[in-house]
Amino acid sequence: MPKLKEDVTNTIEIKKSKFITYLHRCESEEDAKEFLKIIKKRHPDATHHCTAMIIKNIVRSNDDGEPAQSAGHPMLNVLLHEQLEDVFAVVVRYFGGIKLGTGGLVRAYSSSVQKALENAVLTQSTLFHEYKISFSYDLIGKVDAYFRKYEIEIASVEYDEQVHYHYIVEQDISKDLLELSNGSIQPEWIQDITKEKNI
């Protein structure tokens, strides 16, 4: 499930009403409440502070005085559609004097979040595996060429009687290394690591 790499802010104007969207990566509901306090302090004179959150198993929205289902719910729908997790969205509205009607509000709040998401960098947790290999010096050229070709990350290198590499991969490459070394390289699994990758 994608997450925000960092917070995003975006502003749109519709019929003189200003909609400022804040997307915040959140690990807990307490974090969301604290963030909302900061935004309310930043915009004390705004007409509405509507919210939507998907944090662990909490999925919730709030219209903050806008007609029922016209603000928080459309915001939440955008987050759900993008399958985001651990995210809190706040849309601050400054009323510009022209009423938008329920349909107009739904479009305004959903497109406000959508536009902010277009500027967001998303990350995804990926499972990697760390392995260790030991091999003779005459295989360095072959092993390095293979690692370069497939852009495999080498975490550490040691040289003594043999060469020792710790490397990190998504897919197991043990078979390739056995073939490449005529069976002399036997990868040893060390640990699984979860890393975040930009998507």
183 contact partners, CB below 8 Å, separation of at least 6: none
pLDDT of residue 199: 81
Q: What angle do CA 95, 98, 100 make, to 5 degrees?
A: 90
Q: Which residue has the tokens 């990190």?
A: 168
Check if the beta carbon of residue 93 is closer than 8 Å to that of residue 50: yes
Residue 197 has pLDDT above 80, yes or no: no
CATH topology classification for 125-198:
Alpha-Beta Plaits (3.30.70)
Domain ranges (residues) in the chain:
3-120, 125-198
Task: Tell me the pLDDT of the chain averaged across its residues.
Answer: 94
4 contact partners, CB below 8 Å, separation of at least 6: 23, 24, 25, 84, 86, 87, 120, 121, 122, 123
CATH topology classification for 3-120:
Ribosomal Protein S5; domain 2 (3.30.230)
Check if the beta carbon of residue 67 is closer than 8 Å to that of residue 50: no
pLDDT of residue 51: 97
Report CA torsion sign: 107, 112, 113, 117.
Answer: positive
End-to-end Cα, the chain, rounded Å: 11
Better-scored residue on pLDDT, 196 or 75: 75
Q: What is the pTM of this model?
A: 0.75
pLDDT tens digits along 6-31: 999 999 999 999 999 999 999 999 99
Domains 3-120 and 125-198 share a fold: no
pLDDT of residue 40: 97
pLDDT tens digits along 173-194: 999 999 999 999 999 999 999 8
